[in-house]
């Protein structure tokens, strides 16, 4: 009896490849019939993480433009304030002072030239002018310091409790992003090659494989560090620039008020591939941010409590059983 069973099993093993080949040839002749159930199989889609469709950048926003001289369009309140401080306060003051000094020099060169003044002036002191040229610069600096210190204070204001924390690590030569509050382990962000960038409608040498995704209208707290040498995390449109120093945690915050894709680069000379470690930050709605977190296998803070309101917490169940 056992012998018979062995023969039967041996025959099964021997004919198994034939049966498999038959299945393959059957699927080859009728590809549509076998392909359809595979796609619509709910079990297969449930296992893989939900897909997240990334947005495409808008030309001229969040990236440099050819021949541009001004700051990039700012999408944070701090960035707008800083741009106003530069364009409406500092630039006019600098322009007026430069033109005034240039005019003064031209006037002196012409009016007091040697040919027109064979007898040089012996003038040495003028108390009124000395008071003026001391007081006026002091007043200008004191006036500029008010909005300047205000901007500094806004940039380093402590983040609110609901801020999204991201740990940013600079490596030679790529970035790592970790979302500790969302249980997303560190993901590596590297520059995309030219073909991939162009296929996605992104600028080459700014496009990356894994973007930093953040919600719109919510403060983001970046904890920045370097793993090997000093890097610098900088995104001009978000008014963010912070050194990534080994052995030190630097903090910088921003709150983007507009959805979109914003590019930046490492801004501290860090080695041979310093120019090839770009940064891409995608600002999305709160709902899409939750989708993205799910697509990365993470969870929203507090979502475990919200997701299972009917099942009692282990502590409560233990107390009820007592
Ligand atoms: Cu660098």
Whether 322 shows a pLDDT value over 50: the answer reads no
Gyration radius from the chain CA atoms? 32
How far does the centroid of ligand 1 lie from the alpha carbon of residue 227, in Å?
12
First and final C-alpha spacing in the chain: 59
Q: Of 1-10, 51-60, 283-292, where does the model show the most confidence?
A: 283-292
**So what's the pLDDT on residue 124?**
87
To the nearest 10°, report the CA torsion of 160, 161, 166, 170. 60
SS (H, E, C) 88-127: HHHHHHHHHHHHHHHHHHHHHHHHCCCCCCCCCCCCCCCH
Higher pLDDT among residues 9 and 57, named by residue: 57
Query: Is pLDDT of 123 > 80?
Result: yes
DSSP string, 12-40: HHHHHHHHHHHHHHHHHH-HHHHHHHHHS
DSSP state of 223: E
List residues, by chain if needed, whose CB lies under 5 Å from ion ligand 1.
231, 266, 270, 274
Q: pLDDT tens digits, residue range 7-49?
A: 444 444 444 444 444 343 333 333 333 334 444 444 444 456 6
| Residue of 164, 149, 144 whose CA lies nearest to 221 | 164
**Mean per-residue pLDDT for 52-67?**
90
Mean pLDDT of all residues in the chain? 83
Q: 213 CA distance to ligand 1 centroid (A)?
A: 21
Q: What values do phi and psi take at 109, rounded to 5?
A: -65, -35
- Least trusted range by pLDDT, from 56-70, 141-155, 246-260, 295-309: 295-309
The mean pLDDT of 280-308, rounded to a whole number, is 84
| CA dihedral of 233, 238, 239, 242, whole degrees rounded to 10 | -20
146, pLDDT greater than 80? yes
- Asked whether residue 91 carries a pLDDT value surpassing 70, the answer given is yes
pLDDT of 35 reads 38
Spans of all domains in the chain: 77-115+128-155, 164-299
Question: What is the CA(187)–ligand 1 centre distance, in A?
Answer: 19
Report CA(270)–ligand 1 centroid distance (Å): 4
Residues 227-272: tens digit of each pLDDT: 999 999 999 999 999 999 999 999 999 999 999 999 999 999 999 9
Least confident of 99-103, 163-167, 202-206, 306-310: 306-310
Return all residues near 192 (Cβ < 8 A) that are at least 6 apart.
200, 202, 204, 207, 208, 209
Q: Residues 137-156: what's their mean pLDDT?
A: 96
**Mean pLDDT, residues 276-299:** 94
d(CA 102, ligand 1 centre) in Å: 39
Distance 80 CA to ligand 1 centre (A): 26
Span from the CA of 26 to the centroid of ligand 1 (angstroms): 56
Q: Strand, helix or coil at 189? A: strand
pLDDT for res 304: 58
Say yes or no to pLDDT of 210 above 60.
Answer: yes
Span of 30-39, 91-100, 114-123, 292-301 with lowest mean pLDDT: 30-39
5 φ/ψ angles, rounded to the nearest 5 degrees: -60, -40
Mean pLDDT value of segment 59-79: 93
The Å distance, Cα 271 to ligand 1 centre, comes to: 7
The confidence band for 53, taking pLDDT boundaries of 50, 70 and 90, is confident
Distance 185 CA to ligand 1 centre (A): 23
- Looking at the domain that runs over 164-299, which CATH code has it been given? 2.60.40.420
Q: What are phi and psi of 310, to 5 degrees?
A: -80, -35
CA 188–ligand 1 middle distance (angstroms)? 16
CA distance 206 to 197: 8
Give the closest residue to 167 by CA, choosing from 159, 175, 158: 175
CA neighbor of 264 nearest in space, from 226, 317, 227, 211: 211
**Edge-to-edge strands of the sheet including 231-235?**
212-215, 278-284, 260-266, 231-235, 240-244
Between the CA of 222 and the centroid of ligand 1 the distance, in Å, is 18
Q: In the prediction, which pLDDT does 51 show?
A: 80
What is the Å distance from ligand 1's center to 82 Cα? 24
- Cα–ligand 1 centroid distance for 86 (angstroms): 26
Residue 280 has pLDDT above 90, yes or no: yes
pLDDT (tens digit per residue) in 147-197: 999 999 999 999 999 999 999 999 999 999 999 999 999 999 999 999 999
């Amino acid at each position: 009896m056992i012998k018979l069973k062995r023969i039967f099993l041996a025959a099964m093993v021997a004919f198994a490849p034939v049966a498999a080949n038959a299945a393959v040839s059957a699927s080859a002749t009728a590809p549509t019939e076998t392909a359809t159930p595979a796609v619509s199989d709910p079990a297969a889609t449930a296992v893989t993480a939900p897909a997240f469709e990334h947005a495409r950048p808008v030309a001229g926003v969040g990236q440099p433009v050819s021949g541009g001289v001004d700051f990039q369009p700012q999408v944070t309140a701090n960035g707008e304030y800083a741009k106003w401080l530069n364009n409406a306060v500092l630039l006019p003051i600098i322009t007026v002072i430069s033109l005034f000094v240039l005019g003064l020099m031209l006037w002196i060169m012409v009016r007091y030239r040697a040919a027109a003044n064979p007898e040089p002036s012996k003038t040495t002191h003028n108390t009124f002018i000395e008071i003026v040229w001391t007081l006026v610069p002091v007043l200008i600096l004191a006036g500029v310091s008010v909005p300047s210190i205000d901007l500094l204070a806004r940039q380093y204001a402590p983040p609110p409790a609901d801020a999204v924390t991201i740990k940013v690590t600079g490596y030679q030569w790529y970035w790592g992003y970790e979302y500790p509050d969302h249980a997303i382990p560190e993901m590596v962000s590297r520059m995309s090659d030219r073909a991939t960038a162009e296929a996605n409608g992104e600028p080459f040498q700014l496009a990356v494989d894994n973007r930093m995704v953040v919600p719109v209208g919510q403060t983001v707290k970046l904890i920045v560090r370097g793993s090997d040498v000093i890097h610098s995390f900088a995104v001009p449109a978000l008014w963010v620039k912070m050194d990534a120093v080994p052995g030190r945690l630097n903090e910088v915050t921003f709150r983007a008020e507009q959805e979109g894709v914003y590019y930046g680069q490492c801004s501290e000379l860090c080695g041979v591939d310093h120019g090839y470690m770009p940064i891409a930050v995608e600002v999305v709605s709160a709902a899409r941010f939750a989708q993205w977190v799910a697509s990365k296998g993470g969870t929203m803070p507090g979502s475990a409590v919200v997701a299972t309101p009917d099942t009692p917490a282990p502590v409560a169940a233990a107390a009820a059983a007592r």
